Chain A
């Protein structure tokens, strides 16, 4: 697609429910990133994919968070047994490559706002 697409745009869920957030990166971008943006905070790195593998999952806050990427394209971030502190905007970004001496620019989607009641 022309840009990074994320869905849903907004999600309201009840505490304890599972949620899935989807990211469709720019076509041809091999690297994909998930960030979390809480109110008044900067962007917190969650996970990075190069192709279908995730070399760095160090930012996932707990084992309730997981992510996968299939076909080197679409990625899904899953949050199990949601808690109120999970409420945030989840941003996805992609880039041409995550390795090598490149310019480093990330292209972002509009994010998915998650509200846990």
Chain B
């Protein structure tokens, strides 16, 4: 079974600075998807960024980018120019690219609580 590990329970960053959240995963598969979700106090999970394992290029969405190291099974999230609204719990998630069975569901890490200081 796949597992996702987020080794940083909490992180803090100064407004306008850059922060990197770590995520590692364990899988025997070669094709899969990786995600970072953000959960603000409203509780609703919001997709931040997505990476397909077959793509070598790291995904980027405005101030958010990832460092995907397939061989190392590492998937870190970098937030540039941090804003107060970035404060939230961030979850890393894995999904198999196979169809059927139990492959459709997302497996989540335990999350990293990000605080942004003004």
Give residues in A with beta carbon < 8 Å to B: 31, 33, 35, 40-43, 45, 48, 50, 55-56, 58, 89, 91, 93, 98-101, 103-106, 108-111, 113
Contacts and interface: CB of A to CB of B under 8 A. Distances in A.
B43 A110 contact: yes
Interface in B62-114: 91, 95, 97, 99-102, 104-111
Contact of B33 (A50, A91, A98, A103): A103
A61 B76 CA distance: 31
Contacts of B46: 108
A100 B99 contact: yes
A108 B95 contact: no
Given A91-B45, A104-B33, A109-B44, A48 B111 contact: no
Given A43-B91, A101-B97, A89 B43 contact: yes
Given A35-B108, A45-B106, A108-B45, 11 more contacts: A42-B4, A48-B102, A48-B104, A55-B101, A89-B43, A91-B43, A104-B97, A105-B35, A105-B47, A108-B37, A110-B44
Given A100-B99, A104-B50, A105-B50, A43 B43 contact: no
A70 B15 CA distance: 47
A48 B97 contact: no
A108 B102 CA distance: 19
Nearest to A101: B97
B30 interface: no
Interface string B50-65: 1010000000000000
A50 B4 CA distance: 25
Nearest to B94: A104
Nearest to A3: B44
A99 B100 contact: yes
Nearest to A43: B108
Contacts of B4: 42
